[in-house]
Structure 1
């Protein structure tokens, strides 16, 4: 049984320091290489890697195993070229010595990336990573920083917002107080993190293609979405106009309820228009009607009734909204709220019944 003890130097530091070409094979050759590399650069961790490979080969030989000690390294101007050169050297060693297994000795996380390349040529029994205690943390940090700077997505996600923050900070400090400047920067960074964390950029990048596909397919929902957008803007505008300016800043809840009470009908109508367009697309484009699309219009109306009921309760309690009359009877805030809640539940139940009876039928069956 022959074991190949392989000292890996992906970056070719050993070869450049010693001025030799790899692979270097044999106990005496590697022992001489340790002296050459150590004298040329005593601080190189490759010296420890070579010594460890000698120790592993000695221990295997003392256990009466046949060993082949070799040093392989990368070459070329790129990582791909270095890995191809290293794999060619491993192929030559495998063809020459036909080992049954290999023990890989390396000294960095960068060298560990070529382990799968070696494993595709010969079975690996062990991977021995040499850690220089004084330099382990520094080397690992340097490698992580190098990998981070090489990743384009990480650079654009972290370095760009950080750089923009550092550029804006002195400008904001010259124009505003430190508290306002820091609050603005925190809000900006929070918006950027949410933008990336929620994948809003990916969604926005798909919007033009989806819009183009919807226009070319002739969907009714394209028009209804535009109408619902307009209705939503109308609701927001009317809700803002309904807020009483004479109320003090302490009446935030009342202002919010005024806006909600006036805007909800228009917002519910906008959602109802959008859901109706989607339902028409479902009717035209498929053989059956999906239950969720049937439930959605009724759910929108029910939700609008309930929200408007609660907003009206707040306003009526604060005497902002006049007491309603029903057949000459004045309704209390609780009675008004109960009426809206009951109406919402009734609409929701009707939607469930309609969806259960119509769902799955074909367009011809619905027309009949």
Structure 2
């Protein structure tokens, strides 16, 4: 059994460095070639590839296996010409030595592309890729970059925003201060990455189909969702208008509580409208109303009461809101907060009992 140990150099760096014509066959000839290539360019990884071919041939010879070690190369004119030259050399070796199999030794991804050419001439039992130890990280980085650039989705996610950022950076630097320009670009780049990372594009792509299906199915929730969106915008607008500018930028908590206190009723009404539309869809349907949809309106109202109570407690303590009077008595911030919490809990319990009575389940099942 004869094994052909084939050292492949597609770009013919070996032949160019040593000034020799390839193929080169035989232990002594390849050993001499290692010296010539090493003296010509000690940093060339082809030296390690040649030594690896000699090592493989020696190990096979120690196992009493007949081996032929050879070096084949392509050319530097073109890839097609290089591969044809290399295939011609392999054909000559196969015709002369008639090997039963071959072991291919190479040192780069470029050389690895000719393995199918060799396999079409002789059976390849193994491909031994040599990586110089000092350059291992560089080789790994190269392959990672190669896989990254081959992935179209990753390219569009990372390279397109990065390229747009680098393209607009000089323009913004000429129009705005460096801090403003860099901050704006960082925000835009971050938004683009979050847009892809959170799959917002996939969700938005499904929105037209969902809206079309909802309109064709005659769901009431389509209208109530639109109404709830308008109510939410009204709440945000009124909450922003209610913020007192005289508090100053240092009173962030009070300004936030003012916004929350005035926006929560509208936001709760928006959520209540949306949940009512979903509940009506369930009532119109033939499957009946499920317990979560019965609980949802009461939960929205209870949550809105509790949040508004805490916001009012902050504002009343800081004298932003006046102390309310009930039957001639002043209500303290603690009493006000307790009243809102109690009412919220009562509303939540009423919702659980209503859901249990309508669905025919026990209260323990509804709570679970």
After TM superposition, the score normalised by the length of structure 1 is: 0.70
Partner of residue 178, structure 1: 178
Segments of 5+ residues of structure 2 without an aligned counterpart are: 17-21, 362-368
Distance in 2, Cα, partners of 1:360 & 1:73:
83
SS at 2:64 equivalent: coil
Partner of residue 219, structure 2: 219
Change (3 A) 1:106 1:221: farther
Partner of residue 309, structure 1: 309
Distance in 1, Cα, partners of 2:269 & 2:4:
76
1:265 CA drift (Å): 0.7
Change (3 A) 1:56 1:215: same
Change (3 A) 1:360 1:134: same
Does the 8 Å CA contact 1:288/1:360 hold for their aligned counterparts? no
Aligned ranges for residues 112-151 of structure 1 at < 5 Å? 128-133=128-133, 136-151=136-151
SS at 2:321 equivalent: coil
Does the 8 Å CA contact 1:105/1:129 hold for their aligned counterparts? yes
What is the number of equivalent residue pairs in this alignment? 336
1:73 CA drift (Å): 11
SS at 1:320 equivalent: coil
Does the 8 Å CA contact 1:25/1:69 hold for their aligned counterparts? no
1:13 CA drift (Å): 4.2
Partner of residue 166, structure 2: 166
Does the 8 Å CA contact 1:228/1:273 hold for their aligned counterparts? yes
Partner of residue 366, structure 2: none
Does the 8 Å CA contact 2:289/2:359 hold for their aligned counterparts? yes
Change (3 A) 1:62 1:283: farther
Aligned ranges for residues 170-319 of structure 1 at < 5 Å? 170-285=170-285, 287-319=287-319
Rg bigger for which structure?
A: 2
1:282 CA drift (Å): 3.3
Aligned ranges for residues 37-56 of structure 1 at < 5 Å? 45=45, 48-49=48-49, 51-56=51-56
Change (3 A) 1:310 1:134: closer
SS at 1:128 equivalent: strand
Does the 8 Å CA contact 1:110/1:143 hold for their aligned counterparts? no
Change (3 A) 1:342 1:150: same
1:6 CA drift (Å): 7.1
Does the 8 Å CA contact 2:239/2:262 hold for their aligned counterparts? yes
Partner of residue 64, structure 1: 64
Does the 8 Å CA contact 1:109/1:140 hold for their aligned counterparts? no
1:167 CA drift (Å): 3.1
Residues 256-265 or 55-64, more deviating: 55-64
After TM superposition, the score normalised by the length of structure 2 is: 0.70
Distance in 1, Cα, partners of 2:12 & 2:46:
6
SS at 2:258 equivalent: helix
Does the 8 Å CA contact 1:14/1:46 hold for their aligned counterparts? no
